[in-house]
Structure 1
């Protein structure tokens, strides 16, 4: 039986592609550590690498927690691109030409699509796991 974590195959391919791009970006962001080292930057880069690798591996293996890690990864990048967008707006004024704003909108749309088409947990499928447990 083939495991499915999304209702549509296109959404699965979108999630795998986004997760792979996030992995590449977070791995290449280790190169920015050599320019100006700080412990906070090291913490964010290592956290990004760990979350993105977990998301990518879980999506490829189609584990149940893949959507959780993908949501964490998307929120992680949305926080940073939102911060950059906010700084650009406060510095230069409101304009929709900022790349960080475009990425923020793309991340929000991806987050909505991924969560809309995820398969909800079916209680009948996981009935075997609940054998012997007291449900009150």
Structure 2
């Protein structure tokens, strides 16, 4: 029985699973922040984040074809969220204080994870099915 692979290396798969689990837990616990400062926009963003990150985590565990798409969506959402705070920190403190700002470090980390995940994903050939090609000569 052939194992389904999403990434070329197992370490990248574990990085993706751990990242999606952490994003899911962060988005799930961010519901508690809604009790302090409630707004419809934050409720929609937290709900969208929970849905995307839960789909990413489940699809990665089951190794479905759309797992990388959901993981990329979750990463882009978190890059946008942390990028917003990086821009606010840059406008208020300038370049000198931005490197020590924790949102900047997460912003860079999310971009690096996004690049690693997309570099090592396996591209599926949807047009060729190996089982149907058995016994046929392709000269």
With the length of structure 2 as denominator, give the TM-score of the two structures: 0.89
Kindly indicate whether residue 21 of structure 2 is the aligned counterpart of residue 26 of structure 1. Answer: no
4+ aligned runs moved over 6 Å, structure 1: none
Q: How does 1:1-136 map to 2 (within 5 A)?
A: 1-94=2-95, 95-122=98-125, 123-125=127-129
CA change 1:107–1:28 in 2 (3 A) is same
RMSD: 1.3
Q: Tell me how far apart the structure 1 counterparts of residues 63 and 10 of structure 2 sit (CA, whole Å).
A: 12
1:92 to partner: Cα distance: 1.1
1:4 to partner: Cα distance: 0.3
With the length of structure 1 as denominator, give the TM-score of the two structures: 0.91
Q: Tell me how far apart the structure 2 counterparts of residues 97 and 14 of structure 1 sit (CA, whole Å).
A: 25
CA change 1:97–1:10 in 2 (3 A) is same
Q: Tell me how far apart the structure 2 counterparts of residues 30 and 118 of structure 1 sit (CA, whole Å).
A: 32
When Rg is computed on C-alpha atoms for both structures, the one with the higher figure is 2
Q: Tell me how far apart the structure 1 counterparts of residues 124 and 19 of structure 2 sit (CA, whole Å).
A: 23
